[in-house]
């Protein structure tokens, strides 16, 4: 079996899989279920002094493994978390991360009570970028458990904000929160899905999350919980290759059920073994050096394996320049005077019949 353990801000995790903040971690029972299903760590729903009142409805499927939501923070008040939900998890089998925010004053009020009630770590979240570093400073003044700061890909000066948070004492970063505001419209009724602008999560946002993780890791040597659109074992590997130390997810287990954790852990182990890797940690940041490479301008040179080709013609269809022809005898013809080396045909081939010659 491959070694999939990791260490986040000095705390060992039995796997990189973390249940990110959201409705599945709404109370002690939800969190206990996640640990039992195999989550190595769980982030609580965001805890603020007062409970939120969510609009009805407030979560909708948005296609392609993605969701829209207009959900606020926890609908249990902080007092309830501190007196009942967190103490009820004292015998847990996993790492408990209390999410709180959204202002420095609230963090100053709640950081120590949440730690005393049993949280192993804090995760601070706010919609306002300018609150991030002051929240970290408030948490560090209040106690000594590790502090993650959750960042949004919406923030244009993301790397600078992370730098400010590290200067304020952050031990790690969770990247990213849901994206938005976003909009879908039900064309039958002509009404906006959920009746409002909403937050977008799930598979559609993974490329944006990966970009944020990589940007942070190119700038700083800091543990990052890569979060956003992770839905299968290969996505976990992709996040780790972007530089993540651990991987958060909420939409996938919400849509597929909590058994997602056990299934994904098994597939992750099989993927690593199948690709000859003895551990996951060895892949961390594997893609980052390539982001610094000089962009080449030499034409692409293709290899074509007729035995792998299923004659699906996808490579022919997607070529904007009509450079490819699949002959009746299944020979692949490429007109090099037309080919602009855009690379699209390679990436749509389902069987890797097309590949690059270095
Ligand atoms: C319904 C829903 C509620 C969420 N509530 C919170 C929250 O209270 N606090 C928070 O920091 N993130 C919250 N999130 C964001 C997730 O923790 C996560 O950052 C985001 O959804 C991207 O990950 P995913 O694509 O795996 O879901 C919520 C996400 C969803 C889908
Ligand atoms: S690299 Fe682009 S231009 Fe060249 S054959 Fe493929 S799709 Fe066409
Ligand atoms: S996309 Fe791949 S499998 Fe399909 S015709 Fe082209 S080379 Fe063959």
- pLDDT score for 293: 75
Q: Is 14 in the pocket of ligand 3 (CB under 6 A)?
A: no
Cα 311 to Cα 327: distance, rounded to the nearest angstrom = 10
CA 103 vs CA 81, 126, 134, 224: distances in Å: 18, 7, 8, 22
CA torsion angle 216 100 194 39 (round to 10): 70
pLDDT at 292 over 80: no
- pLDDT score for 228: 98
- Count, residues in the chain: 358
- pLDDT score for 294: 73
Atom of ligand 3 nearest to the CA of 352: 2
Architecture per CATH, domain 6-290, reads as Alpha-Beta Barrel (3.20)
Strand ranges (DSSP E) for the chain?
Answer: 6-8, 11-13, 17-19, 41-43, 59-61, 66-69, 95-101, 121-125, 147-151, 172-175, 179-182, 185-186, 191-192, 198-202, 224-227, 246-249, 302-304, 324-326, 332-334, 354-356
- Asked if 83 contacts 108 with a C-beta cutoff of 8 angstroms, the reply is no
User: Topology of domain 294-358, per CATH?
Assistant: Alpha-Beta Plaits (3.30.70)
Token pair 């400073």: residue: 137
Q: What angle do the packed helices 158-167 and 206-219 form, to 10 degrees?
A: 50
Mean pLDDT of the region 11-19: 98
pTM of the model: 0.95
Q: Is 201 in the pocket of ligand 1 (CB under 6 A)?
A: yes
Task: List pLDDT tens digits, range 252-289.
Answer: 999 999 999 999 999 999 999 999 999 999 999 999 99
Q: Is 309 in the pocket of ligand 3 (CB under 6 A)?
A: yes
Task: List pLDDT tens digits, range 144-168.
Answer: 999 999 999 999 999 999 999 999 9
Residue ID of nearest Cα to ligand 1 atom 18? 177
Mean pLDDT of the region 314-335: 95
Task: Identify which of 44, 64, 178 to mutate to test ligand 1's pocket (most ligand atoms within 8 A of the CB).
Answer: 178
Do 6-290 and 294-358 come out as alike in CATH topology? no
Q: Is the peptide bond before 181 cis (omega within 30 degrees of 0)?
A: yes
Task: Identify which of 300, 318, 335, 345 to mutate to test ligand 2's pocket (most ligand atoms within 8 A of the CB).
Answer: 345
Six-digit token string for 201: 């999560």
Spans of all domains in the chain? 6-290, 294-358
Q: How far is the CA of 323 from the centre of ligand 3 (A)?
A: 14
Residue ID of nearest Cα to ligand 3 atom 4? 312
Mean pLDDT of the region 37-59: 97
Q: Is 45 in the pocket of ligand 1 (CB under 6 A)?
A: yes
- pLDDT score for 230: 98
Ligand closest in space to the Cα of 236: 1
């Amino acid at each position: 079996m491959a070694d999939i353990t990791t260490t986040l801000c000095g705390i060992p995790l039995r796997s990189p899989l973390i249940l990110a903040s959201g409705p599945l971690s709404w109370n002690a029972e939800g969190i206990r279920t996640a640990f039992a299903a195999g989550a190595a760590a769980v982030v609580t729903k965001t805890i603020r002094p007062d409970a939120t009142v969510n609009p009805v409805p407030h979560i909708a499927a948005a296609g392609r493994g993605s969701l829209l939501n207009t959900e606020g923070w926890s609908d249990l008040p902080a007092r309830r978390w501190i007196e009942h939900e967190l103490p009820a998890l004292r015998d847990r089998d996993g790492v408990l991360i209390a999410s709180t925010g959204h202002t420095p004053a609230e963090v100053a009020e709640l950081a120590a009570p949440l730690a005393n009630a049993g949280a192993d770590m804090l995760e601070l979240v706010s919609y306002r970028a300018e609150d991030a570093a002051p929240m970290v400073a408030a948490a560090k003044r209040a106690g000594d458990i590790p502090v993650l700061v959750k960042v949004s890909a919406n923030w244009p000066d993301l790397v600078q904000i992370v730098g400010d948070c590290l200067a304020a004492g952050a031990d790690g970063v969770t990247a990213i929160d849901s994206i938005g505001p976003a909009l879908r419209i039900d064309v039958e009724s002509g009404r906006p899905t959920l009746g409002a602008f909403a937050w977008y999560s799930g598979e559609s946002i993974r490329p944006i999350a990966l970009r944020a993780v990589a940007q942070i890791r190119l700038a700083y040597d800091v543990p990052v919980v890569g979060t956003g659109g992770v839905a299968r074992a290969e996505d976990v590997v992709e996040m780790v290759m972007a530089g993540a130390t651990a991987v958060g997810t909420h939409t996938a287990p919400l849509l597929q059920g909590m058994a997602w954790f056990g299934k994904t852990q098994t597939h992750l182990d099989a993927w690593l073994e199948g690709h000859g890797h003895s551990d996951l940690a060895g892949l961390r940041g594997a893609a980052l050096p390539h982001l610094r490479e000089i962009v080449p301008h030499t034409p692409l040179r293709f290899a074509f394996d007729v035995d792998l080709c299923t004659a699906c013609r996808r490579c022919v269809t997607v070529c904007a320049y009509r450079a490819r022809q699949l002959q009746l005898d299944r020979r692949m013809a490429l007109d090099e005077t037309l080919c602009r080396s855009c690379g699209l045909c390679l990436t749509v081939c389902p069987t890797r019949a097309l590949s690059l010659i270095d």
